A = this chain, B = another copy of it.
Amino acid sequence: VPPVTVRSDQPESAPRGLERGRQLDRVNGFSDGLFTISATLLVLSIHVPEIPKAAAPDELPAAIGHLFTGQIPTYFLSFWVIAVFWLRHHELFGRIARSDTRFASINLLFLAFVSLLPFPTELLGQYGREPLVVDIYAANLVILSLLLRRLAREAERAHLLHPGYVALDRAMELRGNAVALLFGLSIPLAWVDPYLSMACWFGSIFAQRFVTRRFS
């Protein structure tokens, strides 16, 4: 068990332990809330077509069909991305016993990029074949991957874990590397063909499954 020093400007008293436990609960609550709300806001990136009543029977089917090849699959992709990052964040926080200022700051930066995700999602849903747009989406995911790993390293460095736990086991580390690599690779590939980038993203699903089966 690592030694822990808590600086305090207040007299030591009974509710201290309680308070510290409640604070980690509130950080957890903030993180969970933010993931949940971001996932729910994704639906706003699907735009209901604006067609005059009279023209609706003729033009609506094509306009809706267009959504099913663009904004709707992008919605599910981003929902899946948020869910995966939520699960990994959740896995890490299940091992955390306490928080400190630097850990909380990295966590907030990570959450700022989670909460940003509806923007590249809407961009991708509308302009899915533009390499720049594909790159912005991929860059957001690479940044999320790197910040989550940074968070895990910080938990280990500052001894914030429950005794006997590690922040990242080998499977998690490999999984994180595979995702960061494939998303990183998808950035230059978007300029060859945006579909190649998306193939990389789908590849990351299988890479994760493969690592999970093989190493954990």
CA distance A163 to B11 in the complex (A): 10
Residue A61 at the chain B interface, CB threshold 8 Å: yes
Assign chain A's interface to a size class. 35 or more
Complex Cα distance, B43 from A146, in Å, reads 21
- The answer to the question of A90 belonging to the interface, with a C-beta cut-off of 8 Å to chain B, is yes
**A interface, CB within 8 angstroms of B:** 7, 9-11, 13, 15, 19, 22-23, 26, 28-30, 32-44, 46, 48, 51, 56-57, 60-61, 64, 75-76, 79-80, 83, 86-87, 90, 94-95, 97, 104, 108, 111-112, 115-119, 122-123, 126-127, 130, 132-133, 136, 162-166, 169, 171, 216
**Assembly CA distance A162 to B14 (angstroms):** 9
Please tell me if the beta carbons of B32 and A79 are within 8 angstroms of each other in the complex.
no
- With A11-B164, A36-B33, A56-B127: A132-B19 Cβ-Cβ less than 8 Å: no
- What separation, in Å, do the CA atoms of A95 and B40 have in the docked complex? 26
**Least distance between A51 CB and chain B CB atoms (Å):** 8
For A127, list chain B residues within 8 Å (CB): 51, 56, 60
A109–B127 Cα distance when bound, in Å, is 25
CB distance from A44 to the nearest CB of B (A): 7
Tell me which residues across on chain B come within 8 A of A216, comparing CB atoms. 7, 9
State the oligomeric state as a number of copies: 4
Starting from the known contacts A10-B169, A42-B115, 18 additional A-B residue pairs (CB-CB under 8 Å) come to A10-B165, A22-B94, A26-B32, A26-B90, A29-B32, A30-B86, A33-B40, A36-B37, A41-B41, A41-B44, A43-B115, A48-B119, A48-B122, A56-B130, A60-B127, A64-B123, A64-B133, A83-B108
